[in-house]
Amino acid sequence: MDTLGVSPAQFRELAGRTVDLLAHHLGELETARSFPVTSGAETERLFCAPIPEEGMGAAALDALSEVLRHSCPRSPRFFGYVLGAGDPVAALGDLVASVLNQNVTAWRSSPAAVTIERSMVRWLAGALGAPGFSGSLTGGGSSANLMALAMARESRQPANESGARPGAVYASTQVHMSIPKAVALLGLGRAHLRLIPVDAGFRMVPRALEQAIEEDRRAGRNQVAIVATAGTINTGAIDPLEEIGAIARRAGLWLHVDGAYGGLAALAVPEKFAGLTAADSLSLDPHKWLSQPLDCGCLLYRDRTAAQNALAYSGDYTRVLSEDPVEGFAFFEESIELSRRFRALKLWLSLRYHGAAAFRAAIRADLTHARQLAKLVGEAPELELLAPVELSAVCFRHRAGPGASEAEANRFNAAILKKVIARGRVYFSNTTLDGRFALRACFVNHRTEAADVEAIVPEVLAAAHEVRG
C-alpha cells in the first residue's frame, strides 16, 4: 500500500492552487515591501509547530501563504548581495525537474537530463568565448570554486592518495570568502593563501602578484594556483585577467577565474573581460546574473583530464557499461557530487523561452542602473561613492556631516542601513571598504526599472533624517 500516494487528479488540484498563489504573489511584487514585517520569534512560532502524526491533506498547503508573507520578496527594488530575482519560467523547469526526479549522475540514469546539462555547459562556454571547455552545473559559486581548487591542487601537487601538503594560492585582498574556505578544506592551509594588494579600483596589482610568487619560489615553497576575480563581491572589480594569465603561464601555476558574480556579464560586455578564457577553470553563477532560481552555479574547465584526475573515484556499483561517448558519460567522474538534481532544465527552458538576446539586454540594463545610481549619488552633496563602478555594484555612504570621525561615519551608515530596511521601500546590503562601512546596492535584478533606482537616494536621505531624530 502506497501511504504517500497522490493521484494525478489530486496533483493537478494541489499544483493549480500553488500556481494560483504564486501568480498572485508575482502580481504583487511591484508594490511589495522590500523586507517582510516579521521577527525571529514570529517565524519560530509559525514554522516550528510539531509535525502532525496524521496528514493534513490539502490543508497542508494553507501555510504556504504565511511562507510567502515572511519571505524577502524579489521585488524590483531588491538590490541586496548578488542575487537575481528568479525567472518564473525557470521555476516551472524546477517543478518539472522535481516531479521527474532524475538523478543526474550519468546518461544511463537520466538520458535527457545529462544531455541537456552538457548542452547548457557547451552553450555557456561557447557564449563566453571558451568553446572547448567542459564542466558541470553546481550548487553555486562556492562549490565550483572548491572543485576548481581541487583540480588545481591535484594537477600541481597531487594529494589524493598520500594526503595534502601546504601550498600557496594567490588571490587579491578582495577575494570571496569561498576561496579561503576551499583552501582550508583542501588541506593547503589558509596561512598559505597570499592576499595580493589591490589598486584604487580594487583590482589585483600584477606587479605585487609577481613579487609574491617570486618570494615563495626563492624560499622553496610549494605553489599551486592563482585565483583572479572577474567581478569582486565588494565592488565588482575585474582583476587584470590578461596580465595575470601571462604571470600564471610564466610561473607554471593553475589559473582559476572566479566569475561567480561577474563572469556572465561577458555575455553582454565581452570587452571588459579580455583574458577571461586564459583560465584553466572558471566559476559562474547563473543564479546570480542569469536570473535562475537558486541553485544554479557552474564550473567550466579547459582540460577534462584534470577534472577526472582530481575528482574521479567510482565504486563498482556505479560502473558504466556503455562504450558510447554519449551513453557512457558520467558527471560523477568530474564532480564531487554523485546524486545531482536536474539543474539544467530551468536554464534550458528559460533560455528557450526568452532567447539569449533578452538575457544580454537584462545584463546591460543592470549595468545602466548601476551607472544611474552612481550619478545620483554624485549629485547628492550628503553622499559619496566609495569605489569606482565597474559592473553593477555601487558602494557609497552618507558623509555623516563635517568633522565626523570614520568610526562615527561607520556607525551612522550602519544605522541608516537598518532604517532603510525597516522602512521597507528598497533593500540593499553593506560591506566594508578600507575600514569604511559602505552601503552597497547591486543590480542583477531583471525586474528593476529606472524609477526603482531613483528611489534609493531619497530613501537613504530620509533614513538619515530619521536616524538623526
Q: Based on the shown chain and the rule CB under 6 A, indicate whether residue 239 belongs to the binding site for ligand PLP.
A: no
**Site for ligand PLP (CB under 6 A): which residue of 141, 167, 206, 275?**
141
Part of the chain binding ligand PLP (CB under 6 A), chosen from 187-195, 225-233, 309-317, 370-378: 225-233
Q: Based on the shown chain and the rule CB under 6 A, indicate whether residue 440 belongs to the binding site for ligand PLP.
A: no
**Site for ligand PLP (CB under 6 A): which residue of 34, 157, 229, 291?**
229
Q: Which three cell numbers, joined as nine digits, stand for 8? A: 494525478
Q: Are 274 and 250 in contact (CB under 8 A)?
A: no
Task: Give the type of residue at 212.
Answer: A
Q: Based on the shown chain and the rule CB under 6 A, indicate whether residue 178 belongs to the binding site for ligand PLP.
A: yes
Q: Based on the shown chain and the rule CB under 6 A, indicate whether residue 263 belongs to the binding site for ligand PLP.
A: no
| 371-430: contacts with ligand PLP (CB under 6 A) | none
Part of the chain binding ligand PLP (CB under 6 A), chosen from 128-136, 229-237, 400-408, 444-452: 229-237
User: Which among 328, 280, 287, 282 has a CA at the least distance from the CA of 305?
Assistant: 280
User: Which among 260, 250, 257, 262 has a CA at the least distance from the CA of 279?
Assistant: 257
Instruction: Give the pairing of strands 436-442 and 393-398.
Output: antiparallel
Q: Which three cell numbers, joined as nine digits, stand for 291? A: 536570473
User: What is the spatial distance between Cα 21 and Cα 259, in angstroms, rounded to a whole number?
Assistant: 35
Minimum CB distance to ligand PLP, residue 414 (Å): 21
Residue 295, preceding peptide bond in cis (omega within 30° of 0): yes
Q: Based on the shown chain and the rule CB under 6 A, indicate whether residue 258 belongs to the binding site for ligand PLP.
A: yes
Q: Are 167 and 200 in contact (CB under 8 A)?
A: no
Q: Based on the shown chain and the rule CB under 6 A, indicate whether residue 210 belongs to the binding site for ligand PLP.
A: no
Spell 183-207 as b/e; 16+ CB within 10 A means b.
Answer: beebebeeebbbbbebeeebbbbbe
**Site for ligand PLP (CB under 6 A): which residue of 140, 167, 240, 245?**
140
Q: Based on the shown chain and the rule CB under 6 A, indicate whether residue 169 belongs to the binding site for ligand PLP.
A: no
Minimum CB distance to ligand PLP, residue 192 (Å): 20
Residue 350 host element (H or E): helix 344-354
Q: Based on the shown chain and the rule CB under 6 A, indicate whether residue 142 belongs to the binding site for ligand PLP.
A: yes
**Site for ligand PLP (CB under 6 A): which residue of 285, 366, 390, 459?**
285
Instruction: Report CA dihedral (204, 210, 214, 220) to the nearest 10 degrees.
Output: 50
Minimum CB distance to ligand PLP, residue 416 (Å): 23
Q: Based on the shown chain and the rule CB under 6 A, indicate whether residue 260 belongs to the binding site for ligand PLP.
A: yes
The site for ligand PLP (CB under 6 A) is made up of: 82, 140-142, 145, 176, 178, 229, 231, 233, 258, 260-261, 285, 297
